[in-house]
Amino acid sequence: MSLSSMNAHKLVHLDLKGAAPRIEYLQVLFPFLKKFGATGLLVEYEDMFPYSGPLEELAQRYAYSKDNIGEFLQLAKDNCLTVIPLIQTFGHFEFVLKHEKFRSLCELEGYPSALCPSNPDSLTAISMIIDQVVDAHPAIQHLHIGGDEVYHLGVCDRCKKKMVMENLTVQQLFFSHVRAVCLYIKDKYPHLTIIMWDDMLRFLELPILAESGLGNLVEIMIWHYLPSFLLPPDIWDRFSKVFPNIWVASAFKGATGACMYATNIMYHIDNHLTWLSVLERVKSKFENIRGIAVTGWQRYDHYAVLCELLPQALPSLVTCLSVIYRGTFTADIHSHVTQQLKFQGLLPLNPFDGKDIPICDFPGSDIYTDTIELLRLESAYEDFLHSEGRLSWMNEYHMRRNFTNPMHLEALLAQAVRLLSGLKQLHKKFQTSLKAIYFPDTVDEWCSVYLNPKIEKMTDIVELARNQDRNSGLQT
């Protein structure tokens, strides 16, 4: 089954809570997305939105300006891409709760993941965020309110007291907050269709779901990123009786490990093929399957390190969009994507296989090839560090005591120097490729997390070994 045959939206998720691209990159990215069948963008601004007034401190140093948002929206319009902002309104609220001004809204003191639904100031803060985002997006028809992974709920004294006084379960406390957010939006912006994630609802029994009152307020977006589905088998029957219109969400990156930096495309192809099979089976249960959001997470939460960068994962994204559009994955589709991305040789579907660095040309392809080179260098680096020779004859303990055998050390040092030189050269290449697309904070974080520790480690080893050489009279 092809989602295109159902006239459903194909949304590309832009997770901007890490490695937000410069507007100049979006100028070449958006036409690319349109070319491969995308019809919209699910945009999670988080701290990249230009909040003002009482919310001013929520905007990070390199946040988009109001003019940038205008450019963003015009680019989307020019490429026939619907924009749906995603605003977290319950869990994943770290970018707000980390600030001293808003810490009193935490459900669990000292843990900024979720806000307290019983604190009246919580809805006030959310309302201000919603107002500013909606005001900056006058043409939108949909608003996503998040609502996923609320890990702390009903644990603070205020919530416990409310649950006792109003005879509420934890689930009903969740419903109460979501309803309050939705009713605020419905009252002030009646033209907006509200979307929320499904995971806080997916295991609830039908009577509880029906009594939640959410069926008339939201359309749920059911997310699942694994190739083999682990959703409750009766989820479609339960949801169809409460939510006549649904969305689904797959992933093209950012779903295989919080510090994974290279994308296994085949993993995500399998996820999409499974989704297409499931939707074909369950589509008759719903009035409408509105569309699919192809998510690309940039951090697992506000405090996690950056994972797979968007340009690096672009081959995965366009392959997944092609699978959605065609309803299958074939050798012809693989060949077509290869040609469109100008790969010399077939697009590798698993970057962990093979040793060659691919040659290709697409928006941000330098970051893609640099990442594959990093993958290869990291493998060589780990092999060297844990090799028997290095651990036996180039051990730091012995080198600090000038207790080494030149016969073995000389060859190991040459190997270490080559690795260090390769890492330093790759660092320079990343500096260039990243600066062309990203702001300085992203460049610094990426290099500091994924390159600098390896360079520092190899530098220490080389310097120790060279000191041995000088003391032993060897020439290096």
State pLDDT tens for residues 70-102: 999 999 999 999 999 999 999 999 999 999 999
What is the predicted pLDDT for the residue at 14? Answer: 98
131 lies in the same domain as 190: yes
369 lies in the same domain as 331: no
**Helix, strand, or coil here: 368?**
helix
Per-residue model confidence as pLDDT tens digits over 417-469: 999 999 999 999 999 999 999 999 999 999 999 999 999 999 999 999 999 85
66 lies in the same domain as 212: yes
280 lies in the same domain as 392: no
> Is 357 a domain residue?
no
224's CB contacts (< 8 A; 6+ apart) are: 230, 231, 248, 249, 250, 271, 275
> Is 356 a domain residue?
no
What is the predicted pLDDT for the residue at 1? Answer: 59
Question: What is the arithmetic mean of pLDDT over 145-163?
Answer: 96
> Is 135 a domain residue?
yes
The alpha-carbon radius of gyration of the chain (Å, integer) is 25
Asked whether residue 397 carries a pLDDT value surpassing 80, the answer given is yes
What is the predicted pLDDT for the residue at 85? Answer: 98
Rounded to an integer, what distance in angstroms lies between the CA atom of residue 451 and that of residue 453?
Answer: 6
Side-chain-side CA neighbours of 206 within 13 Å: the count stands at 9
147 lies in the same domain as 191: yes
What is the predicted pLDDT for the residue at 7? Answer: 79
What is the predicted pLDDT for the residue at 355? Answer: 76
Say how many domains are in the chain: 2
388 is catalytic: no
Asked whether residue 187 carries a pLDDT value surpassing 70, the answer given is yes
Last residue of a domain, one of 340, 355, 387: 340
Question: What is the arithmetic mean of pLDDT over 402-427?
Answer: 96
Rounded to an integer, what distance in angstroms lies between the CA atom of residue 361 and that of residue 415?
Answer: 32
What is the predicted pLDDT for the residue at 435? Answer: 98
166's CB contacts (< 8 A; 6+ apart) are: none
Asked whether residue 4 carries a pLDDT value surpassing 70, the answer given is no
What is the predicted pLDDT for the residue at 475? Answer: 42
What is the predicted pLDDT for the residue at 41? Answer: 98
> Is 348 a domain residue?
no
Asked whether residue 2 carries a pLDDT value surpassing 90, the answer given is no
Per-residue model confidence as pLDDT tens digits over 114-137: 999 999 999 999 999 999 999 999
> Is 17 a domain residue?
yes
- Considering the candidates 46, 94, 149, 463, report the single residue annotated as catalytic: 149
Q: Residue 7, by phi and psi: left (phi above 0), alpha (psi -120 to 50) or beta?
A: left
223 lies in the same domain as 93: yes
423 lies in the same domain as 333: no
Which residue range(s) make up the domain with 391?
A: 365-472
190 lies in the same domain as 120: yes
Q: 322 vs 110, 180, 227, 317, 363, CA distance in Å?
A: 44, 39, 17, 9, 17
406 lies in the same domain as 314: no
> Is 145 a domain residue?
yes
93 lies in the same domain as 141: yes
The per-residue pLDDT of the chain, averaged, comes to: 95
Per-residue model confidence as pLDDT tens digits over 295-313: 999 999 999 999 999 999 9
- Please state, for a pLDDT cut of 70, what percent of the chain lies above it: 97
Last residue of a domain, one of 306, 340, 374: 340
> Is 349 a domain residue?
no
DSSP 222-266: EE--SSS--S-TTHHHHHHTT-SEEEEEEEEES-S-TT--S--HH
Confidence of residue 5 (pLDDT cuts 50, 70, 90): low
90 lies in the same domain as 197: yes
Residue with tokens 């950056």: 306
Question: What is the arithmetic mean of pLDDT over 41-55?
Answer: 98
Rounded to an integer, what distance in angstroms lies between the CA atom of residue 413 and that of residue 80?
Answer: 57
Sign of CA dihedral 23, 193, 241, 284: negative
Tell me, what DSSP letter sits at residue 329? -
Question: What is the arithmetic mean of pLDDT over 326-335?
Answer: 97
Last residue of a domain, one of 305, 340, 375: 340
Rounded to an integer, what distance in angstroms lies between the CA atom of residue 408 and that of residue 386?
Answer: 16
> Is 44 a domain residue?
yes
Confidence of residue 476 (pLDDT cuts 50, 70, 90): very low
**Helix, strand, or coil here: 41?**
strand
Residue 222, domain CATH:
3.20.20.80
225 lies in the same domain as 370: no
